[in-house]
Structure 1
């Protein structure tokens, strides 16, 4: 089951000039290793942005540190290449001060889940209206191949010559636990699906978190090949679609059911009866967490939207407070400075 390309939903204003992918391409030399999965993510982002119908000057990309964080140089919008792990915080400040902007946060598994873990967590729990795209290649690529927070247990790298002794973080599980209102996963090699996930994230009102399985062909080549290659993905990935039973296989012949809280594969399911029906709009994250726990090779890897719910946004609530305070009339800065306990130093 392949997801459709991101649609033009008719929200593009007729008063705006028609933009194309070329309008979002800069004159900067793209400096990633040949064959890197980042190229695919950049291409799908540039294809998707015109569909939003937003002027380029109202779009901002903010990144941290890492290979993925070169992204703002390559998209012809405003951008900010910030410091290690702090992109969500800087983006929160910008969105709060300029709520009319569409703000993307570009980060990686090292940048966002190690030094930036705390900042990422709080941006999601606050439901700031940000679009967080996390490139997950399960390795530190820019610093030449050390293990990252998402590297598999026992993985041998330059910084773990005898194998890692740490359990990996699951980015989707973290996003769900933090209360992110839109949580999705895609893969760099399924370009149609990736474009739609980026589009749906951008259209969501509130924090959106998209994990992208991204191949680092220099330091962790083939990390996702066992299930993401075109020849095998129909049997080894399962596309989540709200309101539809979970099916996979070249002919959608297999399904997933629950035995209590334990998922089971139903081979050659002739009917949908008893199959698990995906619900992305429920406030209860139990189902989404069950899906996150389906790991290859025991199960097909779920990609798509795990959660998509509505909730007031942080920036919206702050703006309401500002408007309510302003409605009370002009205040006095002098009075504020001299209020409470004050003293004079002679």
Structure 2
């Protein structure tokens, strides 16, 4: 696990914390069986490891089922407006380096009305963590197809089947050159928490896509990844520095495809040196992007893990350095004096 240098400016708690410290007094109200419960429990039990003052942790959400999250956390929270959580979180992270800032959003909230805000938060590399709950459906508004729903999805808004090709959130994030991009799943707490640890330690924007089951409007959307009879053949584990092999006794492997990109082949059909060794620290995003397309088009092979984890200066640290440079050159300045100096003033 990386050192928590991203949290070096966040005040530490005076006493040891437990899961109970992060539970609010609000009744948790999601549909019975919703995957959000598992994610909430995983986050609440993980946060004590960070040892941060709860007053310096903030959860910002948009609109959707997942966006109730701040109510259930005994931290500060901001239930914001549709799609704008990354923009609001950017302001917080840039102005308050003493905060650990988390965005909780859904596939509809983040990838439809909020798509532009998401892309630019990733591009800027602001020091915040984005948890994108992906259930491939609009749950709060009762089951319309979402930007990640598969082609042909029958819903209330697409009774004859959806026509548009879905977004791949991992491809989108890698294309925006995000510095930390990962995928995990609600039902695997151990893996989910291991990804959260790396995301929290990362200096810059982390995007964690969490496959989350909506048992009311899109039940079993990720069943191949959960069913003990199929998950070993479908799940492609990504571990930095390790050969990408999976299946029964490592029967399948990933290699670079002759025509570009990557492909799945029987392990026995290739030489050991042809097996692709996962490199999440590669500054070139092309390989991470190719891995993100491995599940196309039939969800037959689904990579799970950290796709990209590179270092680049965060937007907020660069902004702070720029402000320090301006103050050193021109002095602190006096806003009150400026405002009272007349009807016009010159800046610069």
TM-score, with structure 2 as normaliser: 0.91
1:338 — aligned with what?
Answer: 344
Q: CA deviation at 1:139?
A: 0.3
1:27 — aligned with what?
Answer: 25
Query: Which residues in structure 2 correspond to 1:183-194 (within 5 Å)?
Result: 183-194=181-192
Unaligned runs of 5+ in 1: 1-5, 342-346
1:288 — aligned with what?
Answer: 288
> Deviation digits for residues 18-50 of structure 1, max 9, x if unmatched?
111111111111000111010111111111111
Q: How far apart are the structure 1 equivalents of 2:57 and 2:308?
A: 24
Q: How far apart are the structure 2 equivalents of 1:201 and 1:244?
A: 20
Q: How far apart are the structure 2 equivalents of 1:194 and 1:246?
A: 19
State the 4+ residue runs in structure 1 displaced beyond 6 angstroms. Answer: 6-9, 11-15
Of 222, 226, 235 in structure 1, the residue corresponding to residue 220 of structure 2 is 222
Secondary structure class of the residue paired with 1:257: strand
The Cα RMSD (Å) is 2.4
Q: How far apart are the structure 1 equivalents of 2:288 and 2:107?
A: 21
Q: How far apart are the structure 2 equivalents of 1:326 and 1:266?
A: 59
Unaligned runs of 5+ in 2: none
Q: How far apart are the structure 2 equivalents of 1:149 and 1:55?
A: 36
Q: 1:336 to 1:307 in 2, by over 3 A?
A: farther
Residue pair 2:70, 2:79 contacting (<8 A) in 1 also: yes
1:300 — aligned with what?
Answer: 301
Residue pair 1:189, 1:229 contacting (<8 A) in 2 also: no
Q: How far apart are the structure 2 equivalents of 1:199 and 1:18?
A: 18
Q: CA deviation at 1:83?
A: 0.7
Residue pair 1:146, 1:158 contacting (<8 A) in 2 also: yes
Q: How far apart are the structure 2 equivalents of 1:7 and 1:36?
A: 31
Q: Which moved more, 1:232-241 or 1:70-79?
A: 232-241
Query: Which residues in structure 2 correspond to 1:1-346 (within 5 Å)?
Result: 16-260=14-258, 261-269=260-268, 272-295=272-295, 297=298, 299-327=300-328, 328-332=330-334, 333-334=338-339, 338-340=344-346
Q: CA deviation at 1:262?
A: 4.1
Q: How far apart are the structure 1 equivalents of 2:57 and 2:342?
A: 36
1:3 — aligned with what?
Answer: none
